[in-house]
Amino acid sequence: MSMLQFFIAVDVTVVNIALPSIGADLGVDGHALTWVVVGYTVTGGGLLMLGGRLGDLLGRRRTLLAGTALFGAASLLAGLAPSFAVLVAARLVQGAGEAVALPAAMATVVLLFPEGPRRSRALGVWAAVASCGLVLGFALSGIVTARLGWRWVFLISVPFILAVLVAVLFLVRADRPAARARTRLDLPGALLLTACPLLFTYAAVEAGASGARRWVSLVALAGAVLAAAGFVRVESRSPAPLVPPAFFAHRARVRANVTTMLLSGALSTSFLLFTFYLQDRLGLGPLGAGLTMLPLAGALIAASVLVPRLLAGWGARVCVLAGLGCAAVAMTAIAFVAALGAGAVWLLPAMLLIAAGMGFGLVGLQYIAVSGTTDEDAGIASGVQRAADQLGGAAGVAVYVGIGFAPTVHSGDPFLAASVLAVAGLAVGASVISRSSVPTEVRPQAE
């Protein structure tokens, strides 16, 4: 499960440093290249709840195999893509494969370990693998692009995905579909849920455009609002909604997912700010920029060992607040380094703080988001949590970086503007999670 999680996470960030090479090879500009990143994350995030529902209704093992196979096939297509249109289409299919496979994988992990220290350790490993995948994606992108070419950033995962498929066949026991498996799936709701963040992200990306293109942003934003309203209407009338209304009665889960979106938005923004500063400001090449990100991965591994132990002693809410605080200080540090024009070594404290923010924040939030789950709803709870994580990251990049770097907004240092927006989002997240009295009760008991 962790191997699958790792390569899915890698594919979120592995294209970032390779984007200039992709653009030069396929003849597209930087504006169009945005969709190589956004298409994958938003499609995957928008369909994750449908994937979670499929896992609950059709069986986790069956859904896991189908989603993993789809993800692997799309990775192969992306690596062999003859044109930019085919590449973007492959990235969209990759997102769909992730959406089907990942909730089933996380639900499998959750149901293998009962609530308590064993589950907290398992989720700590799960979160650390995801975080390391995100960060190592940058390093792998630089190394692979410099040595093998950009196509191999997609092809390198194919043999490992095949290994996952074989392992699932032998190691994951077949489970029975839920009794309500014949219930009609809420496909209109899934399409609207995917269309809403896609349109919103497009609007945010186009917000900094000048002249006649600004009206495109306004039209996309209006479309996002209509899609959101349509989703609420469809869900209220659907006999089989993507998220059952009873799910929202668990206030701790709702607050955890809202906070996850805000924290993930800041974390994803920090990755791009690191990349922009190292390559655009300091002039490092793909290989140098990728290797400079390695200390962040090492810090995440250390956090994966420490955080589960602290989770048992502190409780999930305290860990989440610590993670939000570390992320806020890290964003502030990035702004200061950029303002001073300091060297790459001065980004190290910010990287360590981001690692702490991811370790403390995401592990605690995942524990709260899946607390109290059963065989009936573990998949949907996992799907909602992953959707919040991924959509929050995509929306954060679109809003914080897209708006922060727009000349009409920052009128100075774009790193400062993006960091301020991210810190404001983290402050909202801290307010949301600190007002909940339930998360303090989500504390693994000693064995």
pLDDT tens digits for 108-117?
A: 887 788 777 7
pLDDT tens digit sequence for 122-160: 877 777 777 777 767 767 777 888 888 889 989 988 999
**Where in the chain are the domains?**
2-185+240-441, 186-239
What are the distances in angstroms from CA 375 to CA 121, 317, 318, 382?
20, 25, 28, 12
Q: In angstroms, rounded to a whole number, what is the distance separating the alpha carbons of residues 195 and 187?
A: 12
Higher-pLDDT residue of 324 and 285 is 324
Q: Tell me what percent of the residues of the chain surpass a pLDDT of 90.
A: 20
pTM for the model stands at 0.77
Find, among 61, 71, 69, the residue nearest to 104 by Cα: 61
Reading the block at residue 52, the tokens are: 């979670």
- Using the Cα atoms of residue 192, residue 196, residue 199 and residue 205 in order, give the sign of their dihedral: negative
User: Among 19-28, 289-298, 435-444, which stretch is predicted with the lowest mean pLDDT?
Assistant: 435-444
Residue 240 confidence class, pLDDT cut points 50, 70, 90: confident
Whether 68 shows a pLDDT value over 90: the answer reads yes
Q: Does domain 2-185+240-441 have CATH number 3.90.1300.10?
A: no
**Integer Cα distance of 313 and 265 in angstroms:** 28
State the average pLDDT over residues 19-26: 83
Query: What angle, 0 to 180 degrees and rounded to 10, lies between the N-to-C axes of helices 378-396 and 348-369?
Result: 150
In the numeric block, which tokens belong to residue 434? 């600190």
Distance between CA atoms of residues 234 and 409, nearest Å:
36
Angstrom distance (rounded) from CA 362 to CA 36:
25
pLDDT tens across 390-411, in order?
Answer: 888 878 877 888 777 766 554 5
